[in-house]
């Protein structure tokens, strides 16, 4: 009897030693980045974030675009919520290693915190500074801005550049507040111009204000904006492009597929897919 009891106690002790509590989510200020540029410390209302880390979710899940009208603050079976300013924010994709999330449109400017919860396990509360705008351009390839023709929707690439004088469309995140503003994480199906003016600089020279046709929300998409403008005559081939808004600039060294002399005719151009940073 004693030997059986001793064996039972030994078994319980062994099983207890083998059982470990699941780890809390792990991330840092440097691994919370702008979803377009990959730059940390880039927070503004309605901005897209990518969070890299470990144990950020129990499993992977994603929003079923375009069959959604409102972004969820939780995705089934992941156990994940992301809190900013002590409020859950919108989620686009979630996995144990990466989260793509949308900040609220009414997020106040100033100091706040970001924290990830996986069920009852809490990651570190990261202090953040929310700015009015933190512009960043989406890319079609390394160092090349995603660009389309405003009139035909044709994709403009380095192999199929547009001439000066063309009306083109840039794609960005981090341009901040707009009017009208979305309610919570409801996706607007209409245009909404930004509140803070946006400048486009080509080779460091601002595009004239009357050549900026629209800067605002891209209808139906979460945290993505369009900047429509007419390319000035006389611009150099493949100029650098930067956005400027509320005292902040988009990433450096990005080229625009604009060329004065058209290249030889090529075959059909492949569709552009804007890339989230780190993907």
**DSSP secondary structure string, 26-82?**
B--GGGEEETTT--BS-B-TT-EEEEE-BS--SS-EE--TTS-SB--SS-TTT-EEE
Q: pTM for this structure?
A: 0.86
CATH numbers and ranges of domains, the chain:
29-130 (2.60.40), 136-249 (no CATH)
The per-residue pLDDT string of the chain (279 residues; one tens digit each, 9 = 90 and over) reads 455 544 444 444 444 444 467 899 999 999 999 999 999 999 999 999 999 999 999 999 999 988 899 999 999 999 999 999 999 999 999 999 999 999 999 999 999 999 999 998 999 999 999 999 999 999 999 999 999 999 999 999 999 999 999 999 999 999 999 999 999 999 999 999 999 999 999 999 999 999 999 999 999 999 999 999 999 999 999 999 999 999 999 999 999 999 987 656 655 555 556 666 665
Beta bridge mates, 170: 147, 227
Distance of CA 218 to the CA centre of its chain: 13
Per-residue burial over 236-251, b if 16 or more Cβ lie within 10 Å, else e, is eebbbbbbbbbebebb
Rounded CA-CA distance 94/36 in Å is 17
């Amino acid at each position: 009897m004693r030997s059986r009891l001793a064996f039972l106690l030994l078994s319980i002790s062994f099983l207890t030693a083998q059982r470990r509590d699941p780890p809390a989510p792990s991330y840092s200020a440097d691994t919370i980045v702008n979803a377009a540029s990959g730059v940390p410390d880039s927070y503004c209302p309605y901005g897209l974030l990518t969070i890299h880390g470990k144990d950020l979710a129990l499993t992977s899940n994603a929003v079923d675009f375009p069959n959604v009208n409102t972004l969820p603050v939780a995705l089934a079976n992941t156990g994940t919520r992301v809190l900013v300013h002590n409020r859950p924010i919108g989620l686009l994709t979630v996995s144990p290693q990466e989260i793509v999330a949308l900040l609220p449109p009414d997020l106040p400017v100033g100091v706040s915190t970001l924290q990830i919860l996986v069920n009852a396990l809490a990651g570190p509360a990261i202090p953040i500074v929310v700015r009015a705008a933190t512009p960043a351009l989406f890319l079609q390839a390394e160092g090349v801005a995603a660009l389309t023709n405003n009139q035909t929707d044709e994709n403009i690439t380095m192999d199929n550049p547009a001439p000066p004088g063309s009306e083109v469309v840039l794609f960005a995140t981090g341009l901040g507040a707009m009017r009208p503003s979305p309610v919570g994480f409801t996706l607007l199906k209409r245009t909404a111009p930004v509140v803070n003016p946006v400048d486009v600089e080509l080779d460091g020279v601002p595009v004239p204000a009357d050549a900026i046709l629209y800067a605002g929300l891209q209808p139906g998409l979460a945290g993505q904006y369009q900047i429509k403008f007419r390319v000035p005559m006389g611009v150099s081939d493949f100029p650098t492009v930067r956005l400027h808004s509320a005292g902040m600039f988009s990433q450096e060294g990005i080229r625009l597929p604009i060329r004065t002399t058209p290249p030889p005719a090529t075959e059909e151009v492949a569709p552009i897919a804007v890339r989230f940073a780190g993907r």
